[in-house]
Each structure stands twice: as structure tokens, then as C-alpha cells.
Amino acid sequence: MPVKSVKNAQSRGKNSGEVQDDEREEMNDADAATEAEEMETREEEPAQEQPASPKSRGDAKPAKNGNKPHADRQTLLIGLNHDLSGEYQAVLMYTHYSAKLTGPYRKELRALFQAEIADEQGHAQFLADKIAALGGEPTTQARPVLTADEPRSMLENALTAEKQAIADYRLRIEQAEAFGDIGLKVDLENQIADETRHKEEIERILAGWNQNQ
């Protein structure tokens, strides 16, 4: 082969090799750019939240109930004596009002008030017995009785006292349950039922009273 032809062939071979090298470099550059884009995409994606393992769920502590009433014996005794003072008040109030009643509804209201006296005395006796059984000293002090001269004012005062008794017994039921005295809880629920009947009866009388005035 002539020297010139050999040189031309070598030149073409060299150029062809250089082109292949350039193509491989371009492909490598493209692959590198693609990998870089994929890495950036993975970094930008939010991490998937892994579900808690059974162990971690078991280790979680239950939320505390900040509204749960205190349940020690002394707190319960103080509350029961507070309720006993309220029952003494109710006995005195209904006794006092039934004696002072005047007007056209005297007979009916006197019968109502005197019927309440027996219920409230029963409540007071139960509370005094329970306080003694728990090792406490039953109080002998009654809450103050609001004075009233008119039958309607007497009924309104009585309604306020009945509502207060219901609210007090609801709290005491929670304390009794927390203390673990289920029998006391049930007995207090029965007393709430009595006080609720008293309240509803007075509300009905006052509703009719307002319509007739």
C-alpha cells in the first residue's frame, strides 16, 4: 500500500477513535447529570413517616384526666359533711316556711313543705351514719336559712336549695366512685333522684304561679 494511503487510513482511524471517545464522554456526562437529578429529586421528596412499632405504641402513656376529683377519705368526709349541713338547712327551711305561710295557697304549700321535711331528714340521717362509718364526725351545723315572707319567695329559695343539693351530690358521686365506695355512689344517686323530684315539683308550681299573676 502506498505510504500516502497508509497515512490517510491511519488518520481516518484516529479520527474515528476520537469520535468514539467523545461520544463515550458525552454519554458519561449525560449519565452523571441524570444521577444528579435523581439524587436531587430524592432529597426534595418528604420522608415517609414510618408507622410506630408495637413496642413504641405500648410504651405510650395514657393522657391524664385533670378533671378527676380527689378521692382520699378525708376529702370525701369533708364533702359529706358539707352535704349534711345542706340537709339540715333544708329541714329548718321547710319547717320555718310551713309555719309562716299565709294566703290562699297556704294549705297546699304547707302540705308540700312538710312532705319535704321527712325526705330531708332521711337524707341527713343517711349522711350522718355514713360519715360515722368512715371514721368521721358528723357535723351539727346547718347552712344559713334565707328568710322569706311571701310564698313565692319561699318557693324560689327552696328551688335554689334543691339545685345546690343536686350539684353537690353529683360531685360527691364522682368522689365516692374514685374512692371505690360503689354502695355510697348508688345511695347518693337515689338521693339525687329525690332532690330532682323536689326541684321539678317546685318549678311546676312557680310556672303556674307566674301565669296566674
Question: Tens digit of pLDDT for each residue in 24-53?
Answer: 555 555 555 555 555 555 555 444 444 443
Q: What's the CA gap between 167 and 50, in Å, rounded?
A: 48
Q: Which amino acid is at 89?
A: Q
On whether the CB atoms of residues 133 and 51 are closer than 8 A, the answer is no
SS3 137: coil
pLDDT score recorded for residue 59: 37
- Of the two residues 66 and 184, the one the predictor is more confident about is 184
Which sign, positive or negative, has the C-alpha torsion 159, 194, 90, 163?
negative
Whole-model pTM above 0.85?
Answer: no
On whether the CB atoms of residues 177 and 185 are closer than 8 A, the answer is yes
Residue 5, pLDDT > 80, answer no
Range 160-175 average pLDDT: 96
Range 180-188 average pLDDT: 96
* pLDDT classification of 58: cutoffs 50, 70, 90: very low
Tens digit of pLDDT for each residue in 73-132? 999 999 999 999 999 999 999 999 999 999 998 999 999 999 999 999 999 999 999 999
Which residue is it, cell 393522657?
Answer: 63
Residue 14, pLDDT > 80, answer no
* pLDDT classification of 155: cutoffs 50, 70, 90: very high
Spatial CA neighbour of 90 closest among 43, 123, 134, 131:
123
SS3 213: coil
The residue extents of the domains of the chain are: 1-40, 73-212
**Which listed CATH number (3.40.50.300, 1.20.1260.10, 3.40.640.10, 3.90.79.10) goes with 73-212?**
1.20.1260.10
